[in-house]
Amino acid sequence: MPEGDTIFRAARTLNRALAGKTVIQFESVFPALTRVHVDTPLTDRTIVAVSAVGKHLLMRFSGDVVLRTHMRMNGSWHIYRPGERWQRSRRDMRILVATADFVAVGFNIPVAELIPARKLAHHDELARLGPDLLSPTFDAGEALRRVRARPGELVADVLLNQRVMAGIGNVYKSEVLFTCGIHPFTIVASLDDEALSCLIATGRRFLLANVHTPLAPMTTYSGLRRTTGRDNPRDRLSVYGRVGRPCRRCGTVITLKKHGPAARLTYWCPSCQPERQ
């Protein structure tokens, strides 16, 4: 599932392939995008840069136009050479941006829009994002303030709230809580600043560790997300996806619970992350 590190790596790969190149073909299944393209064609424009902001991917074109995509749970961007066989079916294609050297294909992307660049700062979704954990200017103090502003909420929910901090998804949520020894269903008000700062710092450390790797092949995400630092792929995570298996730290059986309206999965160790009385 795409989290902040996945989007960052996708943007980096797309930028490496496309930045500075001229668009020779644009296709989309989104009527709104197609309408803009018909009225003011994207072909013959230059791709200025591709960047990530939290879980949003921004592709900037010359002429004051930005393509914003959000992958939700199943979207992905792939890069191919012209004529190269796609790894996904054509029916999964949602957006195609081609230059003379590369074809960028967005598969199963549910959210996409073209925005005037001058309006980005006031865009409803982007303007409300919390500090981006992968940004070089990440403000941990502001992140702590935003967490503290939700005292009655469960800490597991707050970590997923992109208006508090941008980048953490379901996998990192469970892994960060385990590393800091905090039960997922603890309310924020019962945690001190040291505990909350641990969550913030650990989330940033995990995300950075999973993007500061050798440049990946031309796909959205390759390789396996890791939080344990272990080389064996089966040992890459501490608790996520390990229900019924022994905790790597104490041997207690890992627990799973579906939570919230979206029934998101949360994994934890009952011994290493005890409930607070």
Which residues participate in catalysis according to the annotation? 2-3, 55
Copy the structure tokens of residue 144: 């702590």
Contacts of 91 (CB under 8 A, 6+ apart): none
149/110 Cα distance (integer angstroms): 31
236/213 Cα distance (integer angstroms): 15
148/182 Cα distance (integer angstroms): 16
CA atoms within 13 A on the CB side of 271: 9
Exposure class string for 148-187: b at 16+ Cβ within 10 A, else e: eebeeebbbbbbbebebbbbbbbbbbbbbbbbbebbbbbe
Q: Are 16 and 47 in contact (CB under 8 A)?
A: no
Q: Are 138 and 204 in contact (CB under 8 A)?
A: yes
141/62 Cα distance (integer angstroms): 36
